[in-house]
Amino acid sequence: MRGNSSRQRRSIAVAIVGAAILACASLVAAAQDQSAATTKDVIFARKAMMSAISDNMDEIEMMIAVNKIDLDDGHEHGDTISIMFLAFPHLFPPASNQWKPNNPDLDPATDTFASPEAWNTFSDFYQRAAAASKIAYNISRADKVEEFKAAAMQLRAACNACHAAYLKTQ
């Protein structure tokens, strides 16, 4: 009788373990369903996007510096920056937290300079990207040159502050 009860308990325990393993395996499989999107790819994509944002910002700052402001053109650059900043913080999956100090052989395309702080304080990082997107949107809607200049200055300050907090330089 005691033997039967012990066997039953063992069977139940084995069933629990089996179910737990299966449940975990299915959750992990679901989370890893996108193996085509490699970590190197997402790092490359976000670096290309930041470079494009920077190019668009350069165009805006150049027209301000030489005092030849074309609002139509400036609006287009502001709009592109705004949209890119909406997507940008979504390009930091946990697996891409790969910065290591004192690495002399960083690949310029696929290695990251993003600080681990981007993941440790992700909500702050996310909020900064959202704020930058809104400022860029304001640039894209500025009706007057002075408004355009002021919004561009605000965006530059936001860029610099975010880089100081989250961009590693070797």
**Which stretches of the chain bind another protein, using CB under 8 A?**
6, 9-10, 12-14, 16-17, 19-21, 23-24, 27-28, 30-31, 33-37, 41-42, 44-46, 48-49, 52, 79-80, 83-84, 86-87, 89-94, 119, 122-123, 126-127
Give min distance, CB of 52 to another protein, in A: 4
Using the minimum distance from each CB to another protein, give the nearer residue, 13 or 153.
13
Using the minimum distance from each CB to another protein, give the nearer residue, 5 or 169.
5
* Adjacent-strand bridge partners of 114: 167
Using the minimum distance from each CB to another protein, give the nearer residue, 26 or 103.
26
Using the minimum distance from each CB to another protein, give the nearer residue, 133 or 148.
133
Give min distance, CB of 104 to another protein, in A: 27
Give min distance, CB of 55 to another protein, in A: 8
CA dist 97 and 66 (Å) reads 39
Give min distance, CB of 66 to another protein, in A: 18
